[in-house]
Structure 1
Amino acid sequence: MEDELSYTPDCLNAKMPVQCSSCVEKRAMLKRPKTGHSLCKECFFWAFEEEVHQTIVAANLFKPGETVGIAASGGKDSTVLAHVMKLLNERYSYGLELMLLSVDEGITGYRDDSLETVKRNQQQYGLPLKIVSYEELYGWSMDAIVKQVGLKNNCTFCGVFRRQALDRGAVMLKVDKICTGHNADDVAETVLMNVLRGDIARLRRCTAISTNSEGDGVVPRCKPLKYAYEKEIVLYAYFKKLDYFSTECIYSPNAYRGYARTFLKDLESIRSSAIIDIIHSGETLSIREGVKMPVQGTCSKCGYISSQMLCKSCVLLEGLNRGLPKLGIGKHHRLHNKIVNNEPLTEKEESKLKVLDI
């Protein structure tokens, strides 16, 4: 929480009162990181909410009568998303039926605590809640996975399983769409990560504000907070006194995204528009004609979307169940036929896949 409160602007400690630049009546309580405007709390709330509303309207994210699942983790982003979605749905009569959807990865001392926050949010906002767990879906918790794979590659497993778990939960709830709390900082970080990885396929689509249904069991997703700065989300949650969980995942210190985040923060300290500039670069990216792109198909084992014979989730799960954790780390597509046909691997293949460099 200490880091989050460091976002509180200097004008709170100013010796001379500063007037709100919007209403020109009340004392300014903060300086917006996004625009630099000094605003009172009420004008900031209105400006933040209206910008999210304009994002929703401009991108035509929802249609009246749709059932929308809000991905809820208990963190600041998803809590602000749930609060603002409920508020805007009522203010502008979107005509949506809202539900909360949470994923329990099975991380003792982290996810079990954050889910208590989600359950309180359920009562506070009066929204239905569905929780799906890795243990229930895959037979593995993240605690068990980390014991086998270590801390170096665990985020790969969690990210892949979480994405599919959200889709499975959405199908159970029979929602038309899922909205996630991804903010401007998240999107800019993803652009940077895909540039650094040279992942053209993901770079091409990572700035999209919404996805279309790509196959059976895949529910369209959207990002209403796509242009909202993380700092402003923290300020909104702080001044609104929202109930959220602020502890970072205990397994994420070595995550690749953390390095991209640190780099982005350094850029932002030099150039405040760096976040939006990076997003705009990603949005206007064009791929040279003739560049080979992955063809989206379905997994031959579970039917989930995949550009390979097996989806990443099935490969990772097979590796865990066989005691071969490296099977899903790196490119082992040549082994997919053996997995599909339940054929044994050679002694040489197994020896390469058994021990992770942790």
Structure 2
Amino acid sequence: MPPALCALCKTERALIKRPKNYQKLCKSCFIRIFEDEVHHTITSSQLFFPGEKVAIGASGGKDSTVLASVLKTLNERHNYGVELILLSIDEGIKGYRDDSLETVKRNAVQYDMPLKIVGYDELYGWTMDQVVETIGKKGNCTYCGVFRRQALDRGAKMLGIKHVVTGHNADDVAETVLMNLLRGDLPRLSRSTSIVTGSDASEVKRSKPLKYSYEKEIVLYAHHKKLDYFSTECIYSPEAFRGSARSLIKNLEKVRPSAILDVVRSGEDMARLVPGAAPSSCACDGKATPNQTPADEDNIGGCGSSNGRTNGGEMAAMEKRLRENEAAEAAGLETEITAEKPKARSQDKPNPTNGQLKTAGTTVPIRLKQKLGTCEKCGYMSSQKLCQACMLLESLNKNRPEITI
């Protein structure tokens, strides 16, 4: 049987079967389409503007290394006009983070980018090794996650940067969707599926240019581009809840390759149910990405919106048409019920004393919107008197063993 030819160029021998849609591609076409899909995500969502300083959250792993390489390539190819800087967080995990930071230092030289390293010890007075020694391995990811998010913001502020990009990929987003569904946390689901997070009240916005890129394709891109990255997993992560969601996602992917983006899409659609939630999906309106050709029913583009992607309102539209048909058949004997917002009545006004809304004998609790302020202790943005990091640090400091001389 003769070797299969690339599905795009039709001339070179196909060496790669895309995990996303099983499309057979040659090396150069795969690299090109991967970069074009990331470019599509960036431009359709308007992530950057000319002259902007952008910090890349660099850990030395495959995701952040590929992100740095792709952004450097696309910035030069499409003239984004952005200034890229590597920002690394040193959690203080011996045998893991110290080794990965050596990779980041090499990447800084390879990509000709400035590098800033911020450590937990200098920000919080604790390293993750000390945290785990104090509280144990169960629940330590909660501490690290809160500390890391705040450390990225503080590091960006030190550099005078208001935009941080991270290497979160489609697998990561799908895992987060499942985790928040299992927790029943719809508001957090809305934030986690957004390609851009942050608000006018926040000093730093974050974005995920690799949101629609499969983890396996990121590995293939790094391999064929011969990128230098660190591949060891965190020594404290096996106890994390995310591991269970990851196993489920991988099993689904074996049965249906598009399952990862299907979960991401579902998360985006559910996020729209949250009142006041910002758009969480790619803003391409279903346009095809460059170099995209239909391979089979599961063919998916960079954002998964050009093949079979819908706005999630087909059932509502169908029901509306059915109601219109029934009303026409009844020749005016029936009245169509529309979904227009009813006018507020005096008895529907919320009671400011108990935060409830009374409608037709039913009491509905009202969730008041939190006001974003600053932490009284560290000055970091928070809706409470103390930010999450300071509250966690208080509990740690209470359990810190006293040193006697």
Q: Distance in 2 between matches of 1:297 and 1:309?
A: 10
Moved over 6 A (4+): 288-291
Return the letter of the residue paired with 1:317: L
Q: Does 1:281 align with 2:266?
A: yes
1:317 is matched with: 393
CA distance in 1, matches of 2:366, 2:138: 32
The residue that corresponds to 1:10 in the other structure is none
Q: Within 2, Cα distance between the matches of 1:243 and 1:266?
A: 29
- The question of whether the paired residues in 2 share the 8 Å contact of 1:214 and 1:305 is answered with no
Q: 1:84 aligns with which of 41, 63, 70?
A: 70
What SS is found at the alignment partner of 1:85? helix
Counterpart of 1:109 (choices 95, 104, 108) is 95
Which runs of structure 2 are paired with 1:120-269 in the superposition (5 Å)?
120-213=106-199, 215=201, 218-269=203-254
CA shift in 2, pair 1:293/1:268, >3 Å: farther
Contact 1:88 1:94 in 2 (8 A): yes
Q: Give the deviation of 1:278 after TM superposition.
A: 1.0
> Is 2:72 the counterpart of 1:72?
no
Residue 301 of structure 1 and its aligned partner are, at CA, apart by: 2.6
Contact persistence 1:102–1:132 (CA under 8 A):
yes
The amino acid of 2:376's aligned partner reads S
Task: For residue 72 of structure 2, give the secondary structure of its aligned residue in structure 1.
Answer: helix
Deviations 1:163-183 (CA, angstroms, capped at 9, x unpaired): 000000000111131000000
Q: CA RMSD in A?
A: 1.7
Distance of aligned partners of 1:297 and 1:152 in 2 relative to their CA distance in 1, 3 Å threshold: same
1:299-344 superposed Cα distances (whole Å, 9 cap, x missing partner):
333232334332210110111111189xxxxxxxxxxxxxxxxxxx
2:166 & 2:173 partners in 1: Cα distance?
Answer: 12
**% identity of equivalent residues:** 63
- Separation in structure 1 between the aligned mates of residue 388 and residue 368 of structure 2, nearest angstrom: 17
State which structure, 1 or 2, has the greater radius of gyration over its C-alpha atoms.
Answer: 2
- Could you report, residue by residue, the CA deviation over 1:2-60 in whole angstroms, capped at 9, with x for unpaired residues? xxxxxxxxxxxxx7421111111111111001121100000000000000000000000
Partner of 1:356: none
Matched position secondary structure for 1:284: helix
**Structure 2 residue identity aligned to 1:275:** I
C-alpha deviation, 1:107, in angstroms: 0.2
TM-score by length of 2: 0.74
- SS of the aligned residue for 1:47 comes to helix
Change (3 A) 1:214 1:320: farther
2:380 is matched with which residue: 301, 304, 319?
A: 304
Partners of 1:294 and 1:307 within 8 A in 2 = no
Contact 1:201 1:294 in 2 (8 A): no
Unaligned runs of 5+ in 1: 1-14, 326-358
Contact kept in structure 1, 2:186 and 2:274, CA below 8 Å: no
- Counterpart CA distance in 2 for 1:296 and 1:91 is 42
Whether contact under 8 Å (2:134, 2:400) holds in the other structure is no
- Contact 1:180–1:224 (8 Å) recurs in 2: yes
Q: 1:24 to 1:195 in 2, by over 3 A?
A: same
Q: Is the 8 A contact 1:215 1:304 kept in 2?
A: no
* Shift in CA distance, 72/62, structure 1 to aligned 2, threshold 3 Å: same
**Paired positions, count:** 310
Which 5+ residue runs of structure 2 have no aligned equivalent?
Answer: 276-364
Q: 1:100 pairs with 80, 83, 86, which one?
A: 86
Task: State the SS of the aligned residue for 1:206.
Answer: helix
Q: d(CA) in 2 for partners of 1:234 and 1:288?
A: 34
Q: 2:274 and 2:106 mapped to 1: Cα distance?
A: 49
- Show CA shifts across 1:90-142 (max 9, x none): 00000000000000000000000000000000000000000000001000000
Q: 2:370 aligned to 295, 300, 304, which one?
A: 295
> In the TM superposition, what is the alpha-carbon distance from 1:189 to its structure 2 partner?
0.6
Q: Give the C-alpha shift of residue 156 in structure 1.
A: 0.6
Structure with bigger helix share is 1
Alignment of 1:18 with 2:4, yes or no, is yes
Letter of the 2:104 counterpart: V
